[in-house]
Each structure stands twice: as structure tokens, then as C-alpha cells.
């Protein structure tokens, strides 16, 4: 969990810390048709350092047109990607999950003084809600990509839609031109209202209980993980307590329709500020800060909050007591009852950090709820990706379910996340969602799992009913009884029976 800030070394009076250079990832360069591509690959256990690798990749930005593919969510890696861009295009599905995530992303980009535009993906499902929201927020919808299964199939092969489906070349060319024009406009963002923080009370949710816990994760976003967790929650017996560890895109609560029992603020650490009346301009804070958060502007030093990791190294070296700190509220947590059972979840404020800490907090509350409500088992919707929230999601898990999809990127991310699971020596298995998008790649996943002695719990077809269920705020198994839900029920039975002694090795 170390962020490598160096504050411990500065604070230790015995000089007992030894520091060594560490590789956190690699940056690769490639070429596709007329484009140069740079991408960073993070070492699987270095999730806490994602923003640093993003910053390194951004050093390759040149004077031409640069397109940055951001990670999903609204936390520090995303902030690092979006910062200083000319335009941010927010791609969103017209679903309740999509709209919820879009609202958070709009707040995040506006807090970075950037006015985003919206690109509706999978248009045709029913865009009324997303369009209403964009109108209310005065957000421009720059384009709509139709809900076309052929696009998903081409994407699954790692191919370009414009090269495989010729009708779309013109659509994307026009969209590209519009985006470039928009980037030149530099529209002034709508002001973000400062969040009102009510009274902060300290709570202790520590518990001596150990629940038996299933955690569902996915290497990448968009695999359908949360929709499946909703189904498993509906199928679970009454001995379960649930949590949503996807704290920067918390969507599960939309299906759970929780009755809130308690809520509170999450204090993620401290925010630091330089008192210009005391500052003598010695630059020591700037030199010691490893996150490039200290700036000089018009002869004054200041700390950029969105870059500051709150390590306190700057205040340790300031000889003039010019750097003050105060507690930082990074999000909110909730304890709730639902039709499935007790539920803990949280919402990280857009652009905030300490996601891993908030996930640990949600897990602690889940165990507390388990003890209080006399439950023995836990089911958690883990975070996507490989960063610190996933590592926090996995801590203490008894069984890990990895949801993947048969796409080139899905397989790449599945292999990496399984290595992370193996690194923590946890038992687990794989679910292939949307298997019929690309049966060849589904076969590859099955072969990979067989070679590595990993169980494939089942294959779920691509099914638009997931969206219709979501629009009714239901899990699929509550919405319909059909072939897909039969498969899901079978998978849940397997998870339940292998709960204690499944085996995974790579
Ligand atoms: S270390 Fe203290 S005095 Fe020196 S520039 Fe920073 S805030 Fe100012
Ligand atoms: S500015 Fe923030 S990140 Fe940089 S040294 Fe100070 S507390 Fe740490």
C-alpha cells in the first residue's frame, strides 16, 4: 500500500529507512496505421502508483493532436489523465449505471476547470434520462453511437470498427472533426458548488468477527460484474451481508434500493496548505514533494490539492512552520438494509483519492454489520482494474470470482487480475460473460483456465435483458426467468458449493 512518498524516511530520527529505486511499470511505443501509440503497463502489485505512470505516459504528448484514453471512474489516475487537456469527452451508456457514472465524471471534470462534452454510446436503448440530464446541466451531446452488436463483435477481436464496418467510417470521421473543433473552443466550465459538509462524527466499526467472504472482481470495467453481483445477491440466502467496493463508481445501490440506516463522512487524510505570510520561499517543500504538487506562481508557493497525496513530507522539511494541515473529507459511507440483506457502500467524492482506504472502510463496516445482524457470509462487489481499491477489495477474501468477457482487452486484463489474485494466494474462479460475442476467444479463455487449473464457473450469453432489468432497478433474476437466468443460477450454486475449498494456481 506504500505510495513511495518518502515521508517516513524524513521523519525517522535513526535514519533507519533504506530507499531503493523500484520499477513500477513499463512504457511501450507502437504504431497503428498512421498513429503513434504510447501506453504504460503497471506492475500488477503497484496499483497505488498508477497516477505516476500516467504522468510518465503523458510526457510523450507532442504538439499535434493527442488522444488520451483515460481509465474509468473519477479517482486520481483519471484526474491525472484529464488534467491540462483541452477537451474531455465523456462516453456514457443510456442506462441507470451509465447515467450515475456520468454525473460523477461531469463533477470531476468541472472541478478541474474543464467543461466536458458527452458521447452517448449504445444509443437506441432509450436516451430520455441521459438527454434530460444533459439539458439540465447545459452539457453538449457531441454524438451518438448506435447500440449495434456488430460494433461489440469487432471490438472483441481488437479490430477498428471503421475498418471492418464501412458505414461507420463517415460517422467517426465527422465525430472526430467535431471533437477537434470543440477542443479549440475551450468553453468555460459551469461552476461546481462547494460541497456542504455537515458535522463530522468519528465512528468505530471495528469487529472481532470474521465473515466468510466472496469477492467479485473484473480486470476491466464494462464486463457486467455489478449486474452479476446483483443477481447473486438476489439468489443468496438470508445469511449474507453485502458491500459495494466500487467506491468511485458505486452503482450497485441503484439495484439494491437501500433503506439508509446510518451514514457518515470518510476522512481520507489531510489536506495541506502553505501560509504565504509565513513562507520564506526556500523551495524545500517543492524539492521534497514527489507528486509535483508544490507550485510557484507570482512569487508565491502553493499546493495544488488535486495533486497532493497528503503525505506531509513538505511540512516535515519546512523550517518556518508555514505549511498547515486539516482533515480532508473524501467521501461518504452508508449502512443500509435492503430486500437482500444488510448492505454497506460508499461514494468517493469525484476527483478524490484514498480509494483503497475507503474500500477497507466499507469492508470493515460490512463485517460490523455481519456481527450486528448475526450473519456469517459476505458478498462484495469489488473494484474493477488492478489499482489499490482492488487490492483492498481482495484483503481477507475467502473466494474470488473474476468476471471476464471474450475481447482482446478483456483477456489481457483477466490474465493480469488473476496474477494479482494468485499473488495474494486466494482461491478463485472465472465467469465468461457475453461469451457468444466471440466464441473463439471464449475458447481461448477456457484453454487458458484449464492450463492454469482455474475453474470456469460458466458462460453467460450477451443479453440485452440485463439493461431492461437495470432500467427497472432489478437484478436480471428478479426481472425474468429464462435460459440466461438458469445459467446464472447454476453458477451461483457452484460458487456456493466451492466456497470453502476451490483451488487456483497460475
Ligand atoms: S519549505 Fe516552507 S518556507 Fe520553504 S518554500 Fe516551502 S512553505 Fe515556504
Ligand atoms: S504537497 Fe502534498 S504530496 Fe507534496 S509533500 Fe506536501 S503533503 Fe506530500
262 found inside a domain: no
Give the H or E element holding residue 296.
strand 294-297
Domain boundary among 329, 348, 370: 329
Supply the CATH number for residue 300's domain. Answer: 3.30.70.20
- Residues near ligand 2 with C-beta < 6 Å? 5, 272, 288-289, 291, 293-294, 303, 308-314
* Residue 178 CB partners (closer than 8 Å, separation 6+): 142, 143
122 found inside a domain: yes
What sign for the dihedral angle of Cα 195, 198, 200, 201? negative
pLDDT value at position 34? 79
Task: Kindly tell me the burial class for residue 464, based on how many C-beta atoms sit within 10 Å of its own C-beta (0-12, 13-18, 19 or more).
Answer: exposed
What sign for the dihedral angle of Cα 154, 159, 164, 170? positive
> Do 444 and 372 reside in the same domain of the chain?
yes
Q: Is the ipTM of this complex over 0.90?
A: yes
Alpha carbon separation from 332 to 201, 265, 361 (Å, rounded): 12, 4, 11
pLDDT value at position 286? 94
Residue closest to 47 by CA, chosen among 479, 423, 428: 423
Residue in this structure with the C-alpha cell 476547470, named with its chain if needed: 113
158 found inside a domain: yes
pLDDT value at position 499? 62
Which cell goes with 333? 459511507
Supply the CATH number for residue 158's domain. Answer: 3.40.50.300
> Do 322 and 236 reside in the same domain of the chain?
no
For residues 456 and 454, give the distance between their C-alpha atoms in angstroms, rounded to a whole number.
Answer: 7
E-strand stretches of 349-405: 377-384, 399-404
Report the nearest-CA residue for atom 1 of ligand 1.
Answer: 318
75 found inside a domain: no
Which strand ranges, in their side-by-side order, compose the sheet holding 89-92?
Answer: 89-92, 117-123, 141-146
Q: Are 37 and 31 in contact (CB under 8 A)?
A: yes
> Do 220 and 247 reside in the same domain of the chain?
yes
> Do 54 and 158 reside in the same domain of the chain?
no
Q: Are 119 and 145 in contact (CB under 8 A)?
A: yes
Q: Are 407 and 438 in contact (CB under 8 A)?
A: yes
Write the pLDDT tens digit of every residue in 390-437: 888 888 889 999 999 999 989 999 998 998 898 888 988 999 999 999
Query: What is the best residue among 8, 313, 315 to mutate for testing ligand 2's pocket, by most ligand atoms within 8 Å of CB?
Result: 313
SS3 for 99?
Answer: helix
81 found inside a domain: no
* Residue length of the chain: 506
Domain boundary among 152, 168, 196: 196
240 found inside a domain: yes
Strand partners, 141: 118
151 found inside a domain: yes
> Do 375 and 253 reside in the same domain of the chain?
yes
> Do 305 and 369 reside in the same domain of the chain?
no
- Indicate the number of domains in the chain: 4
Task: Kindly tell me the burial class for residue 225, based on how many C-beta atoms sit within 10 Å of its own C-beta (0-12, 13-18, 19 or more).
Answer: buried
Query: What is the best residue among 278, 288, 301 to mutate for testing ligand 1's pocket, by most ligand atoms within 8 Å of CB?
Result: 301
Domain boundary among 329, 357, 375: 329
Q: Are 234 and 340 in contact (CB under 8 A)?
A: yes
For the Cβ of 279 lying below 6 angstroms from any atom of ligand 1, the answer is yes
> Do 111 and 185 reside in the same domain of the chain?
yes
Q: Are 75 and 248 in contact (CB under 8 A)?
A: yes
pLDDT value at position 401? 95
> Do 109 and 231 reside in the same domain of the chain?
no
Low-confidence residues of the chain: pLDDT under 70: 1, 45-48, 353, 498-506
* Residue 172 structural domain: 86-196
506 found inside a domain: no
Atom in ligand 1 nearest the alpha carbon of residue 280: 3
> Do 15 and 99 reside in the same domain of the chain?
no
> Do 221 and 367 reside in the same domain of the chain?
yes
pLDDT value at position 502? 44
Strand partners, 84: none
**DSSP letter string over 138-163?**
T--EEEEEE--HHHHHHHHTT--HHH
* Angle at alpha carbon of residue 139, lines to 265 and 131, rounded to 5°: 95
Task: Kindly tell me the burial class for residue 98, based on how many C-beta atoms sit within 10 Å of its own C-beta (0-12, 13-18, 19 or more).
Answer: buried
pLDDT value at position 219? 75
For residues 172 and 151, give the distance between their C-alpha atoms in angstroms, rounded to a whole number.
Answer: 12
For the Cβ of 255 lying below 6 angstroms from any atom of ligand 1, the answer is no
> Do 380 and 476 reside in the same domain of the chain?
yes
Alpha carbon separation from 14 to 5, 19, 288 (Å, rounded): 18, 14, 19
pLDDT value at position 47? 63
SS3 for 17?
Answer: coil
Alpha carbon separation from 462 to 152, 325, 414, 439 (Å, rounded): 10, 50, 18, 11
> Do 365 and 242 reside in the same domain of the chain?
yes
Report the nearest-CA residue for atom 4 of ligand 2.
Answer: 289
Q: Are 215 and 393 in contact (CB under 8 A)?
A: yes
Amino acid at each position: 500500500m506504500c505510495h513511495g512518498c518518502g515521508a517516513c524516511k524524513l521523519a525517522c530520527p535513526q535514519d533507519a529507512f533504506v530507499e531503493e529505486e523500484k520499477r513500477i511499470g513499463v512504457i511501450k511505443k507502437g504504431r497503428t496505421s498512421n498513429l503513434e501509440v504510447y501506453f504504460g503497463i503497471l506492475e500488477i502489485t503497484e496499483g497505488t502508483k498508477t497516477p505516476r505512470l500516467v504522468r510518465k505516459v503523458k510526457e510523450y504528448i507532442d504538439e499535434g493532436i493527442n488522444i488520451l484514453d483515460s481509465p474509468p471512474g473519477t479517482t486520481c489516475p483519471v484526474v491525472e489523465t484529464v488534467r491540462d487537456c483541452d477537451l474531455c469527452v465523456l462516453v456514457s451508456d443510456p442506462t441507470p449505471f451509465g447515467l450515475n457514472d456520468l454525473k460523477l465524471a461531469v463533477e470531476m471534470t468541472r472541478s478541474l476547470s474543464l467543461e466536458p462534452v458527452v458521447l452517448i454510446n449504445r444509443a437506441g436503448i432509450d436516451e430520455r434520462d441521459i438527454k434530460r440530464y444533459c439539458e439540465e446541466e447545459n452539457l453538449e451531446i457531441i454524438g451518438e453511437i448506435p447500440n449495434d452488436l456488430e460494433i461489440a463483435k469487432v471490438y472483441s477481436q481488437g479490430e477498428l470498427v471503421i475498418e471492418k464496418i464501412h458505414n461507420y467510417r463517415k460517422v467517426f470521421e465527422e465525430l472526430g472533426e467535431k471533437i477537434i473543433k470543440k477542443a479549440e473552443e475551450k468553453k468555460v466550465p459551469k461552476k461546481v458548488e462547494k460541497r456542504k459538509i455537515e458535522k463530522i462524527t468519528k465512528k468505530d466499526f471495528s469487529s472481532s468477527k470474521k465473515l466468510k467472504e466472496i469477492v467479485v472482481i473484473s480486470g476491466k470495467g464494462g464486463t457486467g460484474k455489478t449486474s452479476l453481483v446483483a443477481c447473486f445477491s438476489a439468489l443468496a440466502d438470508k445469511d449474507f451481508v453485502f458491500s459495494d467496493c466500487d467506491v468511485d463508481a458505486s452503482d450497485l445501490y441503484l439495484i439494491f434500493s437501500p433503506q439508509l440506516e446510518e451514514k457518515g463522512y470518510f476522512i481520507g487524510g489531510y489536506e495541506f496548505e502553505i501560509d504565504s505570510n509565513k513562507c520564506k520561499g526556500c523551495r524545500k517543500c517543492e524539492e521534497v514533494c514527489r507528486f509535483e504538487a508544490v507550485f510557484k506562481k507570482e512569487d508565491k508557493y502553493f499546493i495544488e490539492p488535486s495533486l497532493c497525496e497528503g503525505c506531509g513530507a513538505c511540512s516535515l522539511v519546512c523550517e518556518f512552520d508555514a505549511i498547515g494541515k486539516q482533515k480532508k473529507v473524501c467521501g461518504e459511507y452508508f449502512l443500509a438494509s435492503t430486500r437482500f440483506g444488510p448492505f454497506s457502500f460508499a461514494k468517493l467524492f469525484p476527483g478524490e483519492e484514498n480509494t483503497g482506504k475507503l474500500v477497507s472502510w466499507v469492508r470493515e463496516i460490512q463485517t460490523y454489520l455481519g456481527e450486528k445482524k448475526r450473519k456469517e457470509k459476505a458478498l462484495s462487489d469489488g473494484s474493477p482494474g488492478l489499482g489499490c481499491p482492488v487490492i483492498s477489495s481482495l484483503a481477507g477474501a475467502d473466494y474470488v470470482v473474476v468476471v471476464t468477457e471474450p475481447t482482446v482487452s478483456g483477456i489481457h486484463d483477466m490474465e493480469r487480475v488473476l496474477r494479482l489474485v494468485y499473488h495474494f494466494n486466494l482461491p478463485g474462479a472465472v465467469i465468461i460473460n457475453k461469451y457468444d460475442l466471440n466464441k473463439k476467444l471464449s475458447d481461448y479463455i477456457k484453454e487458458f483456465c484449464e492450463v492454469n487449473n482455474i475453474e470456469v464457473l460458466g458462460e453467460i450469453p450477451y443479453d440485452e435483458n440485463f439493461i431492461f432489468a437495470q432500467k427497472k432497478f432489478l437484478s436480471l433474476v428478479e426481472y425474468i426467468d429464462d435460459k440466461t437466468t438458469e445459467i446464472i443460477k447454476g453458477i451461483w450454486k457452484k460458487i456456493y458449493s466451492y466456497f470453502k475449498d476451490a483451488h487456483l494456481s497460475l
